[in-house]
């Protein structure tokens, strides 16, 4: 059951569900290959991407991307993409955005001043849309919807746009190569008023520096932990965001994981933080509608955050020593599939 480029009805349904909830036919970006295959059938094409080594499976207008820890590990989904540029008669973004807003979803323009195309985010789900910024063909005009995407990574704060990631990345590298005694002055110069988005970008930039300059790993990890401590002291992040970031780092759920370092909270503490920060209960999750159109945007937001916190906690599950933690995580297993 592929999404054929000429089937506008199914293309519209794919577009709206993916943007509103981050799912396709009820299946989230973070899924096993057989889960999506069960509802859509076998893909029309699949292969390994040469640039990343990821598995890519194709259902016409829909592509699903998967990665794995090593050659013997199972694949798990990371990204769902609607390749709407393949449509001979494209969809107009204004009509799609209007329908989303009618359903109660907030659609935000993401500033990208150096690019011709226009970028949008649906706040509840974090899903993205790329819209033509200029005429690119006989049928493809300014305002036509080209791509949509939903990842298994949860947007945790204001969208990128207030700060330039490249500038934050450069600033972080400057701090990594300087002694720790300079860090307080460096942070005050860059963040006179603590900004959650800047701290999130700096957190990501440290991981990038480790990947680019492995010889700088030790000072980069020290800076990372110091920055997280500064963010916690200033209460820059909410409790769920702080719990999620800490657990993701400890569980190596990042592109360039950081080695363990003395002084970090043990796995039990991180799991407890994730469970305490859950914005939804199992009873609430069990009662969520199966029809995505019956979901409220607030349900989508809570669902996405609940799923992300459970995923981060489950990465540390093998290190849990408290019986209540393993029991609570096991109890969530039966209802996790209902979350976005």
Gap between the terminal Cα atoms of the chain: 22
User: Sorting pLDDT into bands at 50, 70 and 90, what band is 319?
Assistant: confident
User: Sorting pLDDT into bands at 50, 70 and 90, what band is 254?
Assistant: low
**What is the C-alpha to C-alpha distance for residues 143 and 84, in angstroms, rounded to an integer?**
13
Phi, psi (degrees; rounded to nearest 5) at 76: -135, 145
Q: pLDDT at position 255, please?
A: 56
Q: What is the DSSP string of 95-155?
A: HHHHHHHHTT--EEEE--TT-SSEEEEETTT--EEEE-SS--SSS--TTBEEEEEEESSPP
119-134 pLDDT, tens per residue?
Answer: 999 999 999 999 998 8
**What is the C-alpha to C-alpha distance for residues 317 and 204, in angstroms, rounded to an integer?**
24
In angstroms, how far is CA 79 from the centroid of its own chain? 9
Q: What's the burial of 334, exposed, middle or buried (CB within 10 Å: 0-12/13-18/19+)?
A: exposed
**What is the C-alpha to C-alpha distance for residues 336 and 291, in angstroms, rounded to an integer?**
16
| Percent of the chain surpassing pLDDT 70 | 93
Q: pLDDT at position 162, please?
A: 61
Average pLDDT of the residues in 280-287: 95
77-88 pLDDT, tens per residue?
Answer: 999 999 999 999
Which of 29-43, 164-178, 211-225, 240-254 bottoms out in mean pLDDT, i.e. has the lowest?
240-254
Average pLDDT, the chain: 89
Q: pLDDT at position 85, please?
A: 95
Q: pLDDT at position 253, please?
A: 58
Q: pLDDT at position 51, please?
A: 79
Q: pLDDT at position 241, please?
A: 87
Q: pLDDT at position 316, please?
A: 87
Q: pLDDT at position 160, please?
A: 46
> Are the C-beta atoms of residues 75 and 32 closer than 8 Å to each other?
yes
CA–CA distances in Å: residue 123 to residues 149, 159, 185, 282? 13, 9, 34, 24
**What is the C-alpha to C-alpha distance for residues 161 and 61, in angstroms, rounded to an integer?**
29
């Amino acid at each position: 059951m592929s999404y054929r480029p000429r089937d506008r009805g199914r293309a519209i349904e794919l577009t709206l569900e993916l943007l509103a909830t981050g799912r396709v036919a009820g299946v989230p970006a973070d899924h096993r290959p057989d889960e999506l295959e069960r509802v859509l059938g076998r893909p029309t094409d699949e292969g390994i991407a040469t640039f990343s080594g990821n598995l890519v499976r194709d259902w016409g207008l829909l592509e699903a991307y998967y990665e794995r820890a090593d050659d013997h590990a199972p694949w798990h989904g990371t990204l769902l993409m609607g390749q709407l540029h393949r449509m001979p008669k494209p969809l107009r973004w204004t009509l799609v955005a209007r329908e989303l807003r009618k359903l109660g979803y907030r659609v935000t323009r993401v500033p990208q001043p150096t690019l011709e195309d226009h970028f949008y985010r649906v706040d509840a789900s974090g899903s993205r849309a790329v819209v033509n910024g200029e005429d690119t063909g006989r049928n493809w005009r300014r305002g036509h919807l080209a791509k949509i995407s939903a990842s298994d990574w949860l947007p945790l704060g204001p969208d990128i746009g207030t700060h330039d990631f490249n500038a934050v990345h450069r600033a972080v590298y400057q701090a990594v190569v300087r002694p720790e005694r300079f860090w307080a002055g460096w942070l005050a110069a860059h963040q006179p008023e603590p900004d959650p988005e800047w701290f999130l970008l700096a957190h990501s930039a440290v991981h990038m520096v480790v990947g680019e300059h492995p010889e700088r790993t030790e000072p980069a990890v020290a800076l990372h932990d110091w920055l997280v401590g500064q963010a916690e002291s200033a209460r820059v992040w909410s409790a769920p965001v702080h719990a999620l970031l800490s657990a993701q780092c400890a569980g190596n759920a990042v592109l360039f994981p950081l080695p363990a370092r003395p002084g970090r909270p043990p796995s039990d503490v991180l799991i407890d933080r994730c469970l305490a920060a859950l914005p939804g209960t199992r009873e609430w999750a069990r009662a969520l509608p199966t029809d995505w159109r019956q979901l409220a945007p607030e349900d989508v937001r809570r669902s996405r955050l609940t799923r992300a916190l459970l995923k981060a906690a489950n990465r540390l599950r093998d290190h849990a020593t408290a019986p209540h933690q393993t029991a609570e995580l096991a109890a969530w297993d039966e209802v996790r599939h209902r979350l976005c």
